[in-house]
Structure 1
């Protein structure tokens, strides 16, 4: 399975790089909280640091300040592969923030990914990209991301019970 989401953001690449550098800093992060479970790493964005969000666990495999943060999934999550957030030069040389996942699904994730996790993940990343664009430019060039009816139903169904 491969999933790539990207957003061209009209801001200097250095500013987009700050988004990556600050993603695990609760005071400055563009991580979409409280709507989504916090991203936590036990030693910040440094190789070998472990953590994740919700039940998805991973380890930092590479960190290039201002450019790239990469992770390998812990196999017990049912994902055998990696994901990363990068700043690239996209269309017509414009700065682009890209989130990529490449993994093989195993165990229950074989059905969880296509039915639920994929849709929740894409909604989370779109919220993250909205926050990154707002932080980098002060505005959005389009309407804010909107959760599909399926994502809203999944979030209702999977909500914590009291």
Structure 2
């Protein structure tokens, strides 16, 4: 199955300010991803080409890193053939477009996983991340709502405590 999944958010800040948050991706003080709600991204060598890692059950490695501009990850998971990418793009003098793209083809069981669960969880994950970036710069805090399906999936997938 061909998948092209794109999320955009305009942040009312110059790119240089948003880039400061971008540099914290996959660190202990990650200001890009909503690690208070979701699994953190971990990369064995940080933000550099060849670094391996992922978040939750999703595994990938860095294939391209343009400091203050973009990072591209190749999926390293059976049935997920393609990449996901974060980009910072200037839209106006004091506005930056934050963009996340998944461009892949799924095969076999991965198609079912994507269609039933991963797509919905991913969309919520990215919107929460974009909320976190936007909220860093504003007093009016944004909080994207999760769908009923995302709520159920998170409840089902939550690890059982002993």
Q: TM-score, normalised by structure 1?
A: 0.91
Aligned to 1:36: 38
Deviations 1:53-90 (A, max 9, x none): 011100001111111111100142x2100111000134
Matched with 1:138 is 138
Instruction: Map 1:69-148 onto structure 2 (within 5 A).
Output: 69-76=71-78, 78-90=79-91, 94-135=95-136, 137-140=137-140, 143-148=142-147
Equivalenced residues, count: 159
Moved over 3 A (4+): 90-94
Q: What TM-score, normalized by structure 2, do the two folds share?
A: 0.91
Which of the pair is proportionally richer in helix?
A: 1
Structure 2 unaligned blocks of 5 or more? none
- CA distance in 1: counterparts of 2:53 and 2:60, whole angstroms: 6
Q: Determine the C-alpha separation between the residues in 2 that align with 1:90 and 1:103.
A: 26
Unaligned runs of at least 5 residues, structure 1: none
Residues 4 and 155 (structure 1 numbering): CA distance in 2 closer, same or farther, change over 3 Å? same
State the superposition RMSD in angstroms. 1.8
